[in-house]
Amino acid sequence: MVHGSRLTIDTDAIAANWQVLRERVGASVNCAAAVKSDAYGCGLAPVARALAGAGCSTFFVALPQEGVVLRREVPGAVIYVLNGLLPGAAPIYAEARLRPVLGSLAEAEEWALFCRSRKVVLDAALHIDTGMNRLGLSEADTRRIAADSAMLQAFDLTLVMSHLACGSTAGSPFNAQQLARFKALQELFPGTPCSLANSAGIHLGPDYHFDMVRPGIALYGGEIIEGAPERLQTVVKLEARILQIRQVPADVPVGYGQGQTTRRPTRLAILSTGYGDGYHRRAGGADTRPDDAPPAHGVLAGHKVPLFGRVSMDLMAVDVTDVPSELARRGAFVELYGPDVDMSHIAGTAETIDYELLTSLGHRHQRVYAPLQAPAAATLKEDR
């Protein structure tokens, strides 16, 4: 009763999505799971437990602090840290049994030195840059490490990986270029497992699967390939409580900056959610929006209700003029995204991506971990 919004997260759906991907790549390929950024905003601990229960044994996080939390939840799992070895942090990795994804010569040298100083052979991965130009070893440094037998004896190289820059764009010729570069360089480490594919890479086909795949957004029900209708199960449902119903005459501006003006006598529902809760401001309505780029919408009892005016920090308005008054009432909930409202579509209205919506989920929502109801999209009513 004290929350303005409700966030339902279906960890069974996350586990089911992982199982679908595992079956797609086949038994010979290790299907890992990316759970960085608090499991894409869904909660690291409950998501990790659900995935481990489904059979996932390898996880990827971005930072060692995430890995330390994850280790408590999945004591026997393999945990890779994608952002590599933070300077001076090797003891923390060792204590929590985290495997740094070494992305520079300096990181590889520091990890090797630490292992020698402790007289232990610890696990690590190498990240080869095949064109992302973000993290990763250059071709020259990759060859240098491959030729340095002393370094490779200091730690146990358990994975060689790279990352696709354009994997979500299925027709991009750069995918094939990266694949060719990766194949050429991973051969420098014979017998070492290899990984290239994220969620989108899995859908590019078996040539991209190698020994391990690392799905992320697909596990959480997001868009996998740009513009493709394929989705796995919906995982997240965000609902906002109606605080007040307002009757607004025609030709009256609404909200900050008087961004949108009513064109008719309008009934507005004021919702207890805003950009302070992770709902992006750009998704709101404005008179300056072109007719072919309408604002985002919610769903109230089967009725589509468009946002009206700017999204503010704690509040937003939706147009419920055509919704029966017994449904559009104080205390009712409006679905902002979930089974009936495609998150990727909402992200598009905000000129962003569903990754950002997920990882922006705020901490003021009442979080409920429970199965989601099947979508009622087939019966949605268009309200104008």
Residues marked active site are found at 36, 256
Contact between 243 and 270 (Cβ < 8 Å):
yes
Helices 105-118, 139-146: inter-axial angle, 10-degree rounding: 30
Q: Phi, psi (5° rounding) for residue 177?
A: -65, -45
C-alpha separations of 175 from 164, 172, 216, 234, 291 in Å: 7, 6, 18, 27, 36
Q: Closest by alpha carbon to 87, among 71, 67, 72, 103? A: 103
Token output for 251: 């030709």
Among residues 309, 282, 382, 362, the alpha carbon closest in space to that of 4 is found at 362
List, in sequence order, the alpha helices (H) in the chain: 11-25, 36-40, 44-54, 64-73, 90-96, 105-118, 139-146, 149-154, 173-186, 199-203, 343-349, 354-359
Neighbours of 113 (CB within 10 A): 13
* Sequence-distant (≥ 6) Cβ neighbours of residue 121 within 8 angstroms: 115, 153, 154, 155, 156
* Beta strand residue intervals within the chain, DSSP E: 5-9, 30-31, 33-34, 58-61, 78-81, 98-102, 123-127, 156-161, 194-195, 212-213, 236-248, 253-254, 260-261, 266-271, 297-300, 303-306, 316-319, 333-337, 366-369
CA–CA separation, 314 and 316 (whole Å): 7
Q: What share of the chain is helix, strand, coil (3-state, %, to 5)?
A: 35, 25, 45
Q: Which of 59, 61, 62, 51 is nearest to 18 (CA)?
A: 51
- Name residues whose C-beta falls within 8 Å of residue 301's C-beta, 6 or more positions apart in sequence: 323, 327, 332
Return the structure tokens found at 282: 């750009």
Round to whole Å and give the CA distance between 303 and 237. 16
